[in-house]
Amino acid sequence: MQQLHTLTSAMRRALQLAANGPAEGVNPRVGCVILNPAGDTIAEGWHRGAGTCHAEVDALAQLEPDAARGATAVVTLEPCNHTGRTGPCAQALIDAGIGRVVYAVADPGRHSAGGGDRLRTAGVDVTGGLLADEARAFLADWLVAARLGRPFVTVKWASSLDGRAAAQDGSSRWITGPAARLDVHERRAGADAILVGTGTVLSDDPVLTARASDGTLLARQPRPVVVGRRPVPAGAAVHGHPLSPWFLSDHDVPALLRSLHERGIRRVFVEGGPTLASAFVRAGLVDEYLVYLAPTLLGGDRLALGDIGVPGIDAQRRLQVDDLLRLGDDILLVAHPADSPDTFRTTDTARSAPAAQI
């Protein structure tokens, strides 16, 4: 039986392989490493997108018949247990004669979960939870989307220390400095879609691209989504985005997220303004907060958030701070709802043996 450090090294390699897969779409990024009984790597694979071989099958395809018998498959996500465009990976591993499967995170999907149980029933030794925290962080958006049927939602705002997103005359460029603005653009590039309300489009005329410090476009761009019923002029800057903008009039936040999920969006970056951001907070549909704080005071009533459904102190929305970053003179506070049952932050115990038992 492989030593823990061998399996851990293989899982880290599997996570590296998983990163080769597409970051957008409905499928997770998964990597797989197959070890022989001596602990040597004999095959590697990853999932390249919808309709292609899953990571386990991709790795098995590199082996001669019977070469996988008695081997160990190290996979970042529990092997799937359903038939879609491809067959169940759990059965493929069984058919190949794999003797042991070690995975990081259990599959939360209603239709795809249960691969671990299927493997155990077939006599395969199965262990879950190895490097689970790292895998959850890597798969955070997909895990939320798979469990809840909606995209992972990040709400971002920049404000003065007294919580104002703009001066009294409505001007807001720039509250934060260059380092904070560059950080925003890099995080935009990690999202599938960037959402703003029509009010922001009409007042600020943003193009909603992700840009480098020199103004050039980053390689990956979020889909611009404008939410609201007011018409957007044909000459608005958002029409110059390299991806055609989507215009959605639905003010029902859960319905809006379901619609985006059905379009293959699994990570949403809510950029503004206060009306749209407040609607997401009020609906309890925020997974991550990015709050950029500038060391300045503006006063007035141009608050970063409006009514979020807190009539009294007992109803306050408590957050748990995940990180504090200094960006030039500004501070970025990264947080999530304190009462959030986030899949990627909870312990993977439902169908997993403790990692210490590996």
| Total domains in the fold of the chain | 2
Whether 103 and 53 map to the same domain: the answer is yes
Whether 111 and 165 map to the same domain: the answer is no
Whether 120 and 161 map to the same domain: the answer is no
Whether 202 and 320 map to the same domain: the answer is yes
Asked whether residue 351 is domain-assigned, the answer is no
73, 105, 138 — which closes off a domain? 138
The pLDDT, as a whole number, for residue 156 is 96
Whether 90 and 154 map to the same domain: the answer is no
Give the mean pLDDT per block of 10 residues along the chain (358 residues): 86 96 81 95 91 92 93 96 80 96 89 88 96 92 86 94 89 90 94 92 91 93 94 93 92 92 91 90 94 94 92 93 95 91 40 34
Asked whether residue 225 is domain-assigned, the answer is yes
Whether 127 and 225 map to the same domain: the answer is no
Whether 272 and 224 map to the same domain: the answer is yes
Which stretch of DSSP H or E encloses residue 142? helix 140-148
116, 138, 160 — which closes off a domain? 138
State pTM to two decimals. Answer: 0.79
Question: Please, are residues 134 and 355 in contact by the beta-carbon 8 Å criterion?
Answer: no
Asked whether residue 219 is domain-assigned, the answer is yes
Whether 125 and 155 map to the same domain: the answer is no
Asked whether residue 213 is domain-assigned, the answer is yes
Structural domain including 243 reads 150-337
User: Is residue 271 annotated as part of the catalytic site, yes or no?
Assistant: no
Neighbour tally for 244: CB within 10 Å: 10
Supply the CATH number for residue 194's domain: 3.40.430.10
The pLDDT, as a whole number, for residue 169 is 85
Residues near 262 by beta carbon (within 8 Å), at least 6 away in sequence: none
105, 138, 171 — which closes off a domain? 138
Whether 164 and 89 map to the same domain: the answer is no
Whether 77 and 192 map to the same domain: the answer is no
Residues near 2 by beta carbon (within 8 Å), at least 6 away in sequence: 10, 35, 39, 72
Asked whether residue 343 is domain-assigned, the answer is no
Set 56, 78, 271, 288: catalytic member: 56
**133 backbone dihedrals φ, ψ, rounded to 5°:** -65, -40
Asked whether residue 95 is domain-assigned, the answer is yes
Neighbour tally for 84: CB within 10 Å: 13
The pLDDT, as a whole number, for residue 2 is 64
Neighbour tally for 186: CB within 10 Å: 13
Asked whether residue 358 is domain-assigned, the answer is no
How far is Cα 73 from Cα 89, in angstroms, rounded to an integer? 11
Supply the CATH number for residue 86's domain: 3.40.140.10
Asked whether residue 327 is domain-assigned, the answer is yes
**222 backbone dihedrals φ, ψ, rounded to 5°:** -80, 150
Whether 178 and 315 map to the same domain: the answer is yes
Whether 82 and 199 map to the same domain: the answer is no
The pLDDT, as a whole number, for residue 122 is 96
The pLDDT, as a whole number, for residue 18 is 95
